[in-house]
Structure 1
Amino acid sequence: MKIAYPFLQLLSTAIFLFTSLAGLAQNTGSIRGKITSSDGKTAEYVSVQLKERKQSTLTNAKGEYKLNGVKPGNYTIKVSAIGLTGEEKNVTVTAGAIVIADFVLNESASQLDAVTIQGRQNRYKIDKPSNSLRLNAPLQEIPQNIQVVSQGALADQQIISMSDGLVRNVSGAARVEHWGDLYTNITMRGSQIQAFRNGFNVVNSYWGPLTEDMSFVDHIEFVKGPAGFMLANGDPSGLYNVVTKKPTGVNKGEATLTLGSFDLYRATADLDGILSKNGKLLYRLNIAGQNKNSFRANEYNNRYSIAPVISYQIDPNTKVTAEYTLQHAKMSNVGSFYIFSPNGYASYNRNLTMLAPGLEPTKINDHSLFVNLEHNISDKWKLNAQASYFNYQQKGSSMWPDSVATNGLVRRSASIWDAFSEMTLGQVFLNGTAKTGEIQHRILAGLDVGTKNYYADWNQTAALDTIGGEFNALSPVNTVDNGFPLFDRSLSVEERAVRGGGLMDQRYTGLYAQDELGFLDNKLRLTLAGRYTYVSQSNYGGAPQTAKHFTPRVGLSVSVDDQTSVYGLYDQAFVPQNAILTSGEAAKPITGNNTEFGVKKDWFGGKWNTTLSAYKITKNHEVTTDAFNQGRSIEIGQKVAQGIEFDVRGEILKGLNLTANYAYTDAKVTKVNEGVGESIAVEGQRTPGSSKHTVNSWLNYKVLSGPIKGSGLSGGFTYLVDRATTTFSKTNPEQNLPDYFKLDAGAFWEKNNLRLTFNAFNILDRYLYNGGYYPANYYFTSEVYYWQAEAPRNYRLSVAYKF
């Protein structure tokens, strides 16, 4: 393991900052304290501020706070949170001394929990990761770029599923348009990132999982870059973690009705409350239903979801939570979104569809079950254990051409796509704090286990058009000469998958441990961690291949002041690959190094924050299909992704909330192995999955007083420059996607419990699309451009009522 150089860099930086901060501490004092609720429970993540200096911090999981580097003088400490009664105390700080100032709030623990969940400091900014990320620390102190998309942002932008414009909220994130709204497939830092839900990796095939409906989603966490101890064996570019809604202990509810263009009718209900007189048994129920057509004829996506959650406080230190989610989808053929042409991108009308009415729909039932146990061993140690079960059933088909002629005529076909996915996953992890001398420790240790099986039948194909009766995009007639296919489903999908090679499975075990050592009153934090992972997996019915690896992790975070931290992180990649090389050997796992450096800063008492990060990810041994040897793969060489990312989110001014970001992404092949032809890879070739420059914004302003109090405006844009989302050519710019600009805006009004939200999307009515290019004789005999168009100008209106 070549970790010495990055480790020495981090260590030398730590020594320098340690020495500098030690000198600074001699001329200043500090304030410490503990905040508790009226019933004696700890008050987590409450704001503590020095009014005279606008210096602030948040209490930790034990209700403790620290304000370091305070110049001598008289100050007023203010404790507050949205919905709480603010309290103040006067203190005098002297050089080198520690002032103790404890507070007891007027609110109880249950009232405080509701306030914390509802307020979260402001509408767009969240300061603490979910418990499912296992990191028992504020985001400010974690040596990694983690961006959180809040529930407020989801509501303001009227996002209704994971694939519905969500990525605009995170720097460098892009969605590869594939199979429409069936799967999300987000790329970031040069690769597709892993999909998590409540801390579990829920990817079980190249296409999954089913896009989550936002009705049961609380917020989404994007962990960018090195994440070895969370990923175990996923791509080092990062992950997104969908955090579902949990009971709050407050009796409340919300009903929302949304109407929109292309026959969108959607209704949701969120019920939250207490089931027992003693307040120990809580519930949350979210239900949603929608009918949704498309700007293209014959396409639709109708869904409903049911998500009940039960939580029971067994004793003051132990709580168990169980949740079940059913998502049902009935959608038109999932391959119909693509358009194919030999004449270049966007060469046909934006509303063109190759889908014939009457082709069987795709139907999906997606079940998931979570059981979580939280136990406070002591005030310093906490144990979490959770198990999950996923069951996914799909019945349908997908469209793809048999041929695309040079004159543009397309012979359409439909292939069966029945699938069954089953996953059983488990986690146990321990969080704790300890102290050795003057060194503070945040300790994390855990075990991950999982079993995943995926069965698919995609081996029955039927041509929809006859030879001589091909589909003509210039004069489209959506009839089917050969009639609709009648697929043979007499055997179970598992039996058909065995016959056709549509089998994938994975078994994994991961052990990890992490110690964050805090020096100089925890202003300097050094993270040392490691993970051992064992994986056995097979694809397409091949023999299982096993891999095991130890991945180290070194991080450094330094609090320059109470609102600013700088950090560095080093991690290693480990991604098993199930493929047979042209030589007959099994493919090696992807390995590589990941480094990241950044600066995080809260502004104006933590109302908004910025994150600036720079990274480099190196991957070795990645394979791709050998175009000249069917069924075999070839090792490319080496790929490197590097870039700079900047994110802003929070309340910039009173009533003005902003989410904005910029990313520069340079992902390319840096080394090509001997025998790899130019049609597969060349040195310097950009890898798909990103744009070189990505700029996003969303601004929300609410009038806080006067005759139009409660009304406001929203708006934002997405600008993608130098795209290489699917394919990229250094020599022929016509094969590359053009730059992309989308402008959205809206208005809202709220009073008491009622809120109206209206948004217009793609206001400029641009022909927006994503796609790629096939050279001649690669997939079709002629060169072919393919793309998926986005909707023209469209609108949504939501009416929400809280009770």
Structure 2
Amino acid sequence: MKKIIVSAVVLVSTFAFAQENDTIKSNNIEEVVVNGKYYKKYVEKEGSSSMRLDEELIKIPQNISIITNAALADQQVTTLSDGVLRNVAGAQRLEHWGDMYTRVNMRGSRAAAFMNGVNVTTNWGPLSEDMSYVDHIEFVKGPSGFLMSNGEPSGIYNIVTKKPTGKNFNGSARITLGSYDLMRAETDIDSKINDKVAFRLNLMGQNKNSFRDYEFNDRYIINPSIKVKLSDKTTVIAEYLYQKAKMSEVGSAYVFTFDGYGTKPSSYTITDPGIDPTKVDNHTVNLNLQHQFNKYWKLTAQVSYINEYTLGSDIWPGMYQGNYMLRSLYHWEADNTMKFGQVFLNGYEKTGNVSHKILAGLDLGSKSYLADWNQGGMLDRYNATNDFTLDPDYNYWYNVNTHNYDINGSNPYSGPNNGYPAFNGTTPLSQRATPGGYIKQNYSGLYLQDELGFFDSRLRLTLAARYTNVNQNDYGTSKKADKITPRIGLSYSLDSNTSAYALYDQSFVPQAGFLRNNGSIKPITGNNIEIGLKRDWFDGKWNTTLSLYNIIKNNELTTDPNNTLNERYSLILGRTRVQGIEFDLKGQITKGLNAILNYAFTENKVVKTNTPEYTVGDRIAGYAKHTANGWLNYTFTEGQLEGFGLTFGGTYLGDRSTWTWGTDGALNMNDYVKFDAGMSWENTRVKLNLNVFNVFNRYLYSGSYYAWGGYYYYQAEAPRNWRFSIAYKF
């Protein structure tokens, strides 16, 4: 761990003597200094080119929220699972597999994960995105036909990576220390070789333990990119991202108990110190070409390749004997390969007094996931003769009543009494994975949109349609589906800073599964109706968005509650409806005061049922009816305290729905309330930042009732903890 700190110090020392530029630049620290007054960029007026729309957000008939790098840096966010979602109304993280990947739910279902405009969502991924290579994050609420139609109608989030700017030498370095032996160093170098070639390099190394024993998460990132200006009209950007993660096994964050939620100390774990770490290697290559035919027409083409290899394990309850849980450990080897190609054309024309903003695009994608999780066995062994009386041969049991390991005091712990299961990887993964560990999807999509502008484009009518064809194989079941999904939007500028909009959009999700009657399974169809009001205040220094939406989903599958342990049958639920209200405010309210405030009301329930197991009015899993977030940052801009800042933030989740469908007799989760606070000091080169999270040391968790096992499982969050960072801009 010390090597990381030493390396970072060397980087800072070296760069201190590097070329300097008198102009203060916006980069990793995302600060702009104008006449000695500090301005933090919490607001973006336009999305990235990877979002394809090529228009100011206030004119787009949809709720789109952007989280800037400045906000991420102030909040000392390290990964997507690390507090990012507080910045977006109604978005929340559901517990699943610790910090390995982040499942984001909003508007009643999982939001698809995008990176630079391509859909990298998989059943078990992507690897939770690290903020060291992130320029900003775009959240698009509701169906997003201009990016995809074959996905949940809740929306998407798009990770936009840092790319060369073409400016002179520009960069930053940062060291972060924190609770649980957190040591993290990162650097961002942005420069140009000449007027035609620019490059950027992001490096990150992290060692981090946990408030739970034997749990850790170490990560390393190398992210070079190059931008080449082939001509005055053509530019190519090539980017490579390598991520290496080494962490405790999947499942180490879970608590399993018959007693309900929050019954054990937050430090409690069922993991074992002798289990080999889980290792993930991720390689991502992206090549983007943009050609500007003239000032009205632009062509963008992009190809992406992603390969993620995982070798690790998963700990979970194997069986119960009376009050004792015997743990099982299963090895997990997986190869996840994705290939994408896309080309789209943006253009502008006028016919009489009507303007046309045209978008036409073609998407091709292939995803292949191979996994072997069949090798493993019990870590613990039941001694029926002694009825759990411990002896030197049987010295390690897990007691469900006391929720503790019982270790024979006369013998030091030397590993689980049944030993660690062996792993055999001599047979190729492609043979071990099929059919139960094989997921494959090929898709193609064609999109066409015309935004018609009337009255000097004050009134904008969007007419669009997307044709998508999907061929999918899930664990041995194959499905094909294709569909044309329309999109109609209307946006009107009440003045130059205010717009009202309405939207109708569709999506569909191919499904694969088994019905007891051997019936056919149709894709999920999602219909979204949304209205909203957007406004920029005080020359765009801060903005607000208010939206109301209604999403109908048809033909959704759910697990058959009558399944035995080895059955995988599903039920066709019928129709569900999610509706809600969302409000977002972000930006500089007054000089020195920046705010991010949001609230969402969400209601997701069954409105038509095809099965007696679920009735009209039943709640759908995975959301909170009320979510509210706040983040306030005040920086003194003059006087003796110039550069000194204070921060306060909070998160509230009320009336939470558990991960799975509601079960009779299951307990409800408590409301979630968390507060954070911090202070900082900065000048044009240096920033010191201290944040304390969960200030009031509340017991925070999320989880569900597991009907098959008859117990509850949940994940606790960290108690009060802190982070301190030193950043230098050169």
Report the TM-score when normalising by structure 1.
Answer: 0.82
Q: Does 1:491 align with 2:406?
A: no
Which residue of the partner structure matches residue 723 of structure 1?
Answer: 656
Matched residue type, 2:288: N
Gaps of 5+ in 1: 1-109
Q: CA deviation at 1:677?
A: 4.1
| Residues matched between the structures, number | 678
**C-alpha distance in 1 between matches for 2:704 and 2:320:** 15
- What is the aligned partner in structure 2 of residue 802 from structure 1? 729
| Distance in 2 separating the partners of 1:165 and 1:533 | 34
1:515 aligns with 2:450: yes
Structure 2 residue matching 1:229: 3-state secondary structure? coil
Helix, strand or coil at the partner of 1:537: strand
Q: Which of the numbers 787, 796, 800 marks the counterpart of 2:714?
A: 787
Q: Which residue type is aligned with residue 713 of structure 1?
A: L
Aligned AA for 1:493? L
| Distance (Å, rounded) in 1 between the aligned partners of 2:28 and 2:429 | 48
* Whole-angstrom distance in 1 between the partners of 2:425 and 2:80: 31
Task: Measure the CA separation in 1 of the matches of 2:235 and 2:583.
Answer: 38
Q: Which moved more, 1:592-601 or 1:723-732?
A: 723-732
If asked which structure has higher relative contact order (CA below 8 Å, sep 6+), I would say: 2
Distance (Å, rounded) in 2 between the aligned partners of 1:339 and 1:308: 40
CA contact (8 A) 1:226 1:595 kept: no
Q: Distance in 2 between matches of 1:382 and 1:496?
A: 47
2: distance between equivalents of 1:784 and 1:470?
Answer: 18
Q: Which residue of 1 aligns with 2:675?
A: 743
Aligned to 1:566: 500
- Structure 1 residue 632, shift from structure 2 partner: 2.6
Given the alignment, which residue of 120, 132, 140 partners 1:223? 140
Give the aligned CA root-mean-square deviation in angstroms: 1.9
Contact 1:728–1:735 (Cα < 8 Å) also in 2: no
3-state DSSP of counterpart to 1:346: coil
Indicate which of 125, 130, 154 corresponds to 1:213. 130
Mapped contact 1:690–1:723 kept (Cα < 8 A): yes
**Distance in 2 between the 1:729 and 1:619 partners?**
19
* 1:606 corresponds to 2:524: no
- Distance in 2 of aligned mates of 1:729 and 1:574: 25
Tell me how far apart the structure 2 counterparts of residues 731 and 507 of structure 1 sit (CA, whole Å). Answer: 40
Equivalent of 2:290 in 356, 374, 384: 374
1:460 to 343, 352, 375: 375
Question: Which runs of structure 2 are paired with 1:498-577 in the superposition (5 Å)?
Answer: 498=434, 501-542=436-477, 544-577=478-511
- Compute the displacement of 1:188 (Å): 0.2
Structure 1 residue 724: Cα displacement: 0.6
Please give the per-residue CA displacement for 1:341-361, whole angstroms capped at 9, x wherever unaligned: 101111122211111101011
Q: Tell me which of 131, 153, 172 is aligned to 2:49.
A: 131
| Residues 249 and 277, structure 2, Cα contact 8 Å, conserved in 1 | yes
Instruction: Indicate the SS of the match to 2:520.
Output: coil
Distance 2:25 2:87 in 1: 28
1:450–1:507 CA contact under 8 A, matched in 2? yes
How far 1:752 moved relative to its partner? 2.7
Tell me, yes or no, if structure 1 residue 199 matches structure 2 residue 114: no
Shift of 1:730: 8.3
Could you report, residue by residue, the CA deviation over 1:674-725 in whole angstroms, capped at 9, with x for unpaired residues?
xx242xx332111112100000000111000011110101110000110014
**For the residues of structure 1 that align with 2:552 and 2:63, how far apart are their CA atoms?**
18
Residue in structure 1 matched with residue 690 of structure 2 by the alignment = 758
Question: 1:367 Cα deviation (Å)?
Answer: 0.6
Matches within 5 A, 1:297-312: 297-312=213-228
**How far off its partner does 1:496 sit?**
0.9
2:404 match: secondary structure: coil
Aligned to 1:53: none
Cα distance change, pair 293–112 in 1 and its aligned pair in 2 (3 A) = closer
| Paired residue type of 2:358 | I
Q: Residue 400 of structure 1: which of 289, 302, 316 is its match?
A: 316
Deviates more, 1:742-751 or 1:347-356: 347-356
Whole-angstrom distance in 2 between the partners of 1:692 and 1:247 = 42
Contact 2:102 2:125 (8 Å CA) reproduced = yes
Task: Tell me the residue number matched to 1:642.
Answer: 579
SS of residue matched to 1:303? strand
SS at structure 2 position matched to 1:168: helix
Out of 540, 551, 558, which is 1:617 matched to?
Answer: 551
CA contact (8 A) 1:456 1:503 kept: yes
Structure 1: how far apart are the matches of 2:380 and 2:616? 41
- Displacement after TM superposition at 1:648 (Å): 0.2
Cα pair 1:342 1:405 within 8 Å, conserved: no
CA distance in 1, matches of 2:30, 2:678: 26
CA distance in 1, matches of 2:536, 2:683: 30
Q: Pick the aligned partner of 2:623 from 685, 690, 703.
A: 690
SS in 1 for 2:631: strand
The 1:574–1:596 alpha-carbon spacing in structure 2 relative to 1, beyond 3 Å, is: same
CA contact (8 A) 1:729 1:736 kept: no
Question: Which amino acid counterpart does residue 580 of structure 2 have in structure 1?
Answer: G
After alignment, is 721-730 or 439-448 more displaced?
721-730
2:149 touches 2:507 (CA, 8 Å); kept in 1?
Answer: no
Which aligned pairs between 1:268-417 and structure 2 lie closer than 5 A?
A: 268-276=186-194, 279-404=195-320, 407=323, 409-417=324-332
SS at match of 2:146: helix
Given that 2:466 and 2:486 are in contact with CA atoms closer than 8 Å, whether structure 1 keeps it comes out as yes
Q: 1-side partners of 2:558 and 2:437: how far apart? A: 19
Residue 578 of structure 1 deviates from its aligned partner by 1.7
Following TM superposition, by how much is the alpha carbon of 1:729 offset from its aligned partner in structure 2, in angstroms? 4.0
Aligned to 2:417: 481
In structure 2, what is the Cα distance between the partners aligned to 1:493 and 1:322? 31
1:112, CA displacement in angstroms? Answer: 11
Say whether the 8 Å CA contact 2:581–2:600 is kept in structure 1: yes
The structural deviation recorded for 1:181 is 0.7
Secondary structure of 1:494's counterpart equals helix
SS of the residue corresponding to residue 215 of structure 1 reads helix
Instruction: Give how far 1:275 is off.
Output: 1.5
| Equivalent residue letter for 1:784 | Y
Alpha-carbon contact 1:194-1:201 (below 8 Å) kept: yes
Deviates more, 1:570-579 or 1:336-345: 570-579
Structure 1 match to 2:16: none
Amino acid at match of 2:628: V
1:703/1:247 CA distance change after superposition, 3 Å: same
